[in-house]
Amino acid sequence: MNRAVSVARMQLINKWTFLGIPALIIAASFALTYAIWLMVPNNVETRYSGASQAVVWYFLALGIQSLTYTFPFSQAMSVSRRTFYIGTTGLFAVVALAVSLLYFVLGRIEVATNGWGLNGQLYFLGWAADSPAAVQIMFNFLVMLALYMTGFWFATVYKRWRATGMLVVWILIAVALVGLMALAGWQGWWPQIGAWFAAQTPLSVSGWTALFCAVLGVGSYLTLRRATP
Partner 1 sequence: MNTPTQPPVIELNNVTKRYKDTKAVDGVTLRIDGGRIYGLLGRNGAGKTTLMSILTAQDPETSGDVKVFGQHPYENDAVLSRMCFIRESQKYPEDFSPAQAFKSAALFFRNWDQDFADRLAEEFALPLKRRIKKLSRGQLSAVGVIIGLAARAELTFFDEPYLGLDAVARQIFYDRLVEDYSLHPRTIILSSHLIDEVANLLEHVLLIDNGRIILDDDAENIRGSAATVTGEDSKVTDFTAGLPILHRERLGSLTSVTIEARLGTADRARAAELGLEIAPVSLQQLVVRKTMAAPAGGAGVDPRTATDPSELEVAP
Q: Applying CB under 8 A, which residues contact partner 1?
A: 3, 6, 9-10, 13-14, 16-17, 65, 69-70, 72-73, 75-83, 225-226, 228-229
Q: Are 90 and 9 in contact (CB under 8 A)?
A: no
CA 187/CA 181 separation, integer angstroms:
10
CA 98/CA 85 separation, integer angstroms:
20
**CA dist list (Å): 161 to 63, 124, 225:** 17, 41, 13
CA 146/CA 214 separation, integer angstroms:
9
Strands 120-121 and 47-48: parallel
19 vs 211, beta carbon nearer partner 1 = 19
Query: Residue 203 burial (CB < 10 Å; 0-12/13-18/19+)?
Result: middle
Least spacing, CB of residue 77 vs partner 1, in Å: 4
162 vs 226, beta carbon nearer partner 1 = 226
CB count within 10 Å of CB 90 equals: 16
Least spacing, CB of residue 70 vs partner 1, in Å: 5
192 vs 226, beta carbon nearer partner 1 = 226
H helix or E strand, kind and range, residue 197: helix 190-198
Least spacing, CB of residue 19 vs partner 1, in Å: 14
Least spacing, CB of residue 87 vs partner 1, in Å: 11
65 vs 131, beta carbon nearer partner 1 = 65
Least spacing, CB of residue 161 vs partner 1, in Å: 13
75 vs 119, beta carbon nearer partner 1 = 75
